[in-house]
Amino acid sequence: MTTGPARTPAHLANLDLNLLVTLRELFRERNVTRAARRLGVSQPAVSASLSRLRRHFGDELLLRSNGVYVLTPLATQLTEQVETVCAATERLFATGSAFEPAGSRREFTLLMSDYPATVLGDRLSRLLAREAPHAALHMRLVRETIGDDIVETIRLVDGMVSPRLGHFRTPVGSQPLFKDRWMCLLSADHPLCEAEPFVLDDVKPLPWVVPYHRDAGYPSASPATRQLAALGIRPRIAVRVESYRAVPDFIAGTRRVALYPARLAARLPAERGLRALEWPVPLDDIDELLWWDTVYDKDPANSWLRGLVARAAAELGPDVAEPASVKSDGTGQPEEPPRAGEPCHKPD
């Protein structure tokens, strides 16, 4: 098989960094006209930049298909890298300058799973809109368990929300945001919901739904599997999913079981047909923290963002409401939820 000539590494001095911004908008919009409008330049100017980018990468990047533009495989591969590099470059040139939230048009990048994004999202959104109405927020969702490259990951974002991650070889700042507790999530018609309060031996043989569990190795870095390992449970994993919000979809109407955060369980509507039960033994708290690269300790913009996230978390309060019962009693109305530790069936 023949291959093309090896490409010479590009040097920053020879690059037009404006092309990065153009490339980001082209990938976002997948349309030359809309990208030009967002950049505030003419369509011919963006077309000319696209031609230069195509020559540089030796790839079409955008292809017309059925009247619309689609990304080539290389462009798809580049998309996240371009977002990350643009965000890091913007932070670099903003560092150390005076920061006025009310007039800032800076885009901040936070990395987290859909669990803290759901818990904090509405509060964080309102605070951002009130204090920095012109600023933008890029909420990057974790797509898999955060691994050994965590320090490099933190360097490329303004902040990351996650549980405790152990010790780092390089300085990384952190501050606590909120606590939560694990619930046992079952389908409302699961046999365990018709029995006396369950014990660990009841759930050990069941099929499990586990978010962010790596295929190789046990326990993985997933918070749920770490907690299961602490309980002496090696789960028979039926479904692995890169999302907390999707877990209930794979529980309802099945005999599967999952560890699920109480703050998310409390948001489940009654019609989902699910039940969140208290565990019969003490479990570790879920501690969610904000992490950042200490190089930004004295950056006014990053300091403001950290305060904003902390204030959003403070609005949650320390207590987690009891999850609502989602099991029907046959009258078409939800039952009253059982108290913590009570059996989940009604007395005869």
Kindly report the three-state secondary structure assignment for every residue of 89-149.
HHHHHHCCCCCCHHHCCCEEEEEECHHHHHHHHHHHHHHHHHHCCCCEEEEEECCCCCCCC
Do 208 and 236 contact (CB within 8 A), yes or no? yes
Q: Which pLDDT score is estimated for 319? A: 61
In this predicted structure, the answer to whether residue 137 has a pLDDT above a threshold of 50 is yes
Q: What is the rounded average pLDDT of the residues 109-114?
A: 93
Output the average pLDDT for the chain. Answer: 82
**Assigned token pair, 264:** 């998310």
| More confident: 162 or 167 | 162
Beta bridge partners of 257: 208
Q: Which pLDDT score is estimated for 224? A: 86
At 7, is the pLDDT very low, low, confident or very high (cuts 50, 70, 90)?
low
Q: Which pLDDT score is estimated for 214? A: 73
Q: Which pLDDT score is estimated for 141? A: 87
pLDDT > 90 in the chain, percent: 49
In this predicted structure, the answer to whether residue 15 has a pLDDT above a threshold of 60 is yes
At 11, is the pLDDT very low, low, confident or very high (cuts 50, 70, 90)?
low
Separation of alpha carbons 63 and 225, rounded Å: 42
pTM of the model: 0.69
Q: Which pLDDT score is estimated for 132? A: 96
At 174, is the pLDDT very low, low, confident or very high (cuts 50, 70, 90)?
very high
Q: Which pLDDT score is estimated for 10? A: 58
Q: Say how many CA atoms lie within 13 Å of 285 toward its Cβ.
A: 12
Q: Which pLDDT score is estimated for 248? A: 97
**Phi, psi for 338 (deg, rounded to 5):** -70, 150
Helix (H, G, I), strand (E, B) or coil at 53: helix
In this predicted structure, the answer to whether residue 168 has a pLDDT above a threshold of 70 is no
pLDDT > 70 in the chain, percent: 79
Q: Which pLDDT score is estimated for 324? A: 44
Q: Say how many CA atoms lie within 13 Å of 272 toward its Cβ.
A: 23
Q: Which pLDDT score is estimated for 99? A: 84
In this predicted structure, the answer to whether residue 140 has a pLDDT above a threshold of 70 is yes
Q: What is the rounded average pLDDT of the residues 305-309?
A: 96
Encode pLDDT of 54-91 as tens digits. 998 999 999 988 878 899 999 998 988 888 888 777 76
Separation of alpha carbons 114 and 122, rounded Å: 13
At 94, is the pLDDT very low, low, confident or very high (cuts 50, 70, 90)?
low
Return the minimum-mean-pLDDT range out of 36-40, 128-132, 264-268, 306-310.
36-40
Closest by CA to 240, choosing from 210, 204, 218, 206, is 210
- For 139, other C-beta atoms within 10 Å of its C-beta total 16
Q: Which pLDDT score is estimated for 167? A: 59
Q: Which pLDDT score is estimated for 344? A: 42
Domains in the chain with CATH codes: 14-87 (1.10.10.10), 95-178+287-314 (3.40.190.10), 182-284 (3.40.190.290)
In this predicted structure, the answer to whether residue 221 has a pLDDT above a threshold of 70 is no
**Assigned token pair, 88:** 């890091």
